[in-house]
Structures are given as C-alpha cells and as structure tokens.
C-alpha cells in the first residue's frame, strides 16, 4: 500500500509504502483503541453508578426508570383491556346460552327447580397444600381460549337438541289427535257396520260424531287446507293435509270456514256441523288417511285423550296435596 503525504511546508510530496502485515497491525491497533475506549467508558459509568450522590446520574437513572415504568404500565393496561373485552364477550355468550338452556328445559318439560341456569353451580374442596400460584397473562389467555372453545361446542350441541325438540313438537302438532267436535259422541265407529240406509254390511272409513247443527268443527291437527268442496256422498267437506302423509276429512258440513291453501293450527275452527250429503241426520263424519288409505281415527284420538288425562292428573296432584 502506498500513502502519499502532501504538505505546504514540504517542497514536494512524500510517498510511504506499507506492507500487508503493517496494514493489518495498524487495523488491529485501531480496533484495540476502540475497545479500550469502550471499556474505559463502561468503567467510568459503573463508578458513577455506585456514587448515588451524583445528581446527574441520579436524574438519568430516574428518567430511565420512569420510562420503563410507563412502558410497563402501558403494556399492562393494553393486556387488561384485551382481557376485559374477551371476558365481556364470554359473559354475553353465557347469558345467551343460559336463556337458550332455559327455553330447552321448558320445552323438554324439566322443572325449573331441578335445573336452574341463573345460579352458579356448587364447587369447593380442600385448600391447596402449597398455597397455589398466580396465573400468568399467557396462562389466563389460554384459559379464556379454552372456555371460548367449550362455549362454541355447547352452543352447537344445544342447537342440535333444539332442532330435535322442535321437530318433535312440530310432529305432535301435525298428528290429528284433537277431537274435532266438543261434546260429541259416537253414532257409528270405524270398520264394518250395517249401512243405515241400505241395511247391508259395508265398511265405514271413519267415525260419525253426533252434534247439533252449527256446532264448531276444529282441525284435529295443524296443516294446509287441500280441499273445500261438495261431494254427493260426503256433502260439504274440508280436507286438511298435515304434511307427513296424513290427511283428515271433515264431512256432512253445513258450512266451511276456510279456503283451499289456508294454513290452520291444531284446534282452529274450520267448519260447522251440518246434514249435507248421504246422511240420516246432522253429525260430523271424521276420517284420517295416510297416503289415501283410511286409518282408524280412534288410534289418533286416543292419543289426544291420553294427553288430556295426563295433564288432568298433573293438575289434580297439587290440588290433592293441599
């Protein structure tokens, strides 16, 4: 390496030649000087750090400590705010699940005293032998994440249970178990009988219920009105499709109160008892068919009577206890 020296005091420039070993030695010297300067600065700083009476150092340390404290407080506030938001979300979801659970318990017939959602479950046990330890923020976040996952799982399962119960309730509402006339009594049953007009043995596809003309006729189950017409043998009729393969027919009516396409609920008034068609007197002819095949209506009406007897006994029990 050639180094050219130029100066005003010199008549001409001078050139100095350095070998590679000399250049390396000079570089090492510079690095050593830098390291020595850094060590000297560190030693001086530590020496002043021991001397707490130094006001400049005290101010510097206090400023650094205050900055660290502010950063820690800011991080803590941020963590607390984040945790508070998560806890608020979990509380809202728990309240929603509590309301959902109460509705399902009511639909399932569970007594409120047996399964209360507004009370904390009983917990307890002996105190920890070692006194336990405080949870870290990371552990607390992990617990909240696990609780959130469990809530999602419970919500999905309750949703499935609600669908099952709803399907059961809809099925019950679309099965013709309600007596179509109140205070009516049988004048002719389902099956073979002596025809009241011809006197010959014939198959009766429904049941005849005696009731005065103008007596309200109600839907034995919910469904859609599929037929409102006059048929020579049945007279005025109303047919209701219950959307599960079952249909019910109400015949010999004096007047219908619904139209084709109307959606009717179980127990809703649909017609009035009359004496139209092939009859010997006012009454209601009631049929239940499955895909066009007549079934014994008594099998369905007996279910309604059993439900009525069960409810009556449940109401009578508290009265008897008094």
Residue 320 in domain: no
Does the pLDDT of residue 302 top 70, yes or no? yes
**Strand partners for 188:** 208
Return the residue matching tokens 């030649």: 17
Residue 111 in domain: no
pLDDT tens column, 26-41:
778 888 888 888 887 7
pLDDT tens column, 214-251:
999 999 999 999 999 999 999 999 999 987 788 999 99
Indicate the number of domains in the chain.
Answer: 2
Residue 164 in domain: no
135-142 CB contacts, 8 Å cutoff, 24+ apart: 137/79, 137/83, 140/83, 141/83, 141/86
Residue 208 in domain: yes
**Domain end residue (candidates: 48, 70, 86):** 48
User: What is the pLDDT, as a whole number, of residue 313?
Assistant: 39
Q: CA gyration radius for the chain?
A: 46
pTM (2 decimals)? Answer: 0.48
**Sign of the alpha-carbon torsion through 181, 186, 189, 194:** negative
Higher pLDDT, 131 or 217: 217
**Strand partners for 235:** 231
Q: Residue 282 burial by CB count (10 A; 0-12/13-18/19+): exposed, middle or buried?
A: middle
Return the residue matching tokens 């029990």: 317
Return the residue matching tokens 């006339």: 181
Grouping H, G, I as helix, E, B as strand and the rest as coil, residue 121 is coil
How far is the C-alpha of 315 from the C-alpha of 113, rounded, in Å?
A: 18
User: What is the pLDDT, as a whole number, of residue 92?
Assistant: 77
Residue-number span of the structural domain to which 211 is assigned: 185-297
Specify the CATH number for the domain of residue 229. 2.70.70.10
| Inter-residue contact 177 to 246 (CB < 8 Å) | no
Grouping H, G, I as helix, E, B as strand and the rest as coil, residue 103 is helix
User: What is the pLDDT, as a whole number, of residue 319?
Assistant: 39
**Total count of residues recorded for the chain:** 322
Residue 140 in domain: no
Residue 207 in domain: yes
User: What is the pLDDT, as a whole number, of residue 263?
Assistant: 93
Residue 106 in domain: no
Residue 130 in domain: no
User: What is the pLDDT, as a whole number, of residue 310?
Assistant: 36
212 contact partners, CB below 8 Å, separation of at least 6: 273, 282
How far is the C-alpha of 3 from the C-alpha of 16, rounded, in Å?
A: 5
| Inter-residue contact 221 to 266 (CB < 8 Å) | yes
Return the residue matching tokens 């569970």: 110
How far is the C-alpha of 285 from the C-alpha of 187, rounded, in Å?
A: 10
Averaged pLDDT for residues 257-274:
94
Q: Residue 32 burial by CB count (10 A; 0-12/13-18/19+): exposed, middle or buried?
A: exposed
């Amino acid at each position: 390496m050639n180094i050219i020296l130029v100066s005003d005091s010199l008549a001409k420039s001078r050139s100095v030649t350095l070998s590679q070993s000399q250049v390396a030695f000079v570089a090492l010297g510079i690095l050593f000087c830098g390291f020595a300067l850094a060590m000297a600065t560190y030693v001086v700083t530590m020496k002043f750090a021991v001397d707490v009476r130094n006001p400049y150092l005290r101010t510097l340390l206090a400023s650094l400590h205050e900055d660290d404290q502010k950063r820690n407080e800011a991080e803590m506030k941020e963590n607390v705010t984040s945790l508070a938001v998560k806890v608020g979300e979990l509380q809202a979801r728990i309240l929603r699940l509590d309301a959902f659970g109460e509705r399902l318990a009511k639909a399932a017939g569970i007594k409120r005293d047996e399964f209360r959602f507004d009370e904390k479950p009983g917990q307890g046990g002996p105190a920890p032998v070692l006194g336990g330890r405080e949870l870290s923020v990371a552990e607390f976040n992990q617990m909240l994440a696990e609780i959130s996952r469990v809530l999602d799982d419970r919500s999905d399962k309750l949703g499935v249970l609600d669908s099952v119960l709803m399907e059961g309730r809809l099925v019950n509402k679309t099965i013709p178990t309600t007596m179509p006339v109140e205070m009516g009594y049988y004048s002719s049953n389902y099956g073979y009988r002596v025809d009241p007009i011809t006197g010959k043995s014939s198959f009766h596809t429904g049941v005849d219920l005696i009731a005065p003309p103008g007596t309200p006729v109600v839907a034995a189950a919910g469904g859609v009105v599929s037929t409102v017409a006059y048929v020579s043998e049945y007279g005025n009729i109303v047919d209701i499709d219950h959307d599960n393969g079952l249909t019910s027919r109400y015949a010999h009516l004096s007047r219908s109160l619904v139209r084709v396409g109307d959606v009717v609920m179980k127990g809703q008034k649909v017609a009035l008892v009359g004496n139209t068609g092939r009859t010997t007197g006012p009454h209601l002819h009631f049929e239940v068919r499955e895909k066009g095949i007549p079934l014994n209506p008594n099998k369905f009406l007996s279910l309604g009577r059993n439900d009525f007897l069960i409810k009556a006994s449940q109401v009578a029990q508290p009265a008897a206890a008094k």
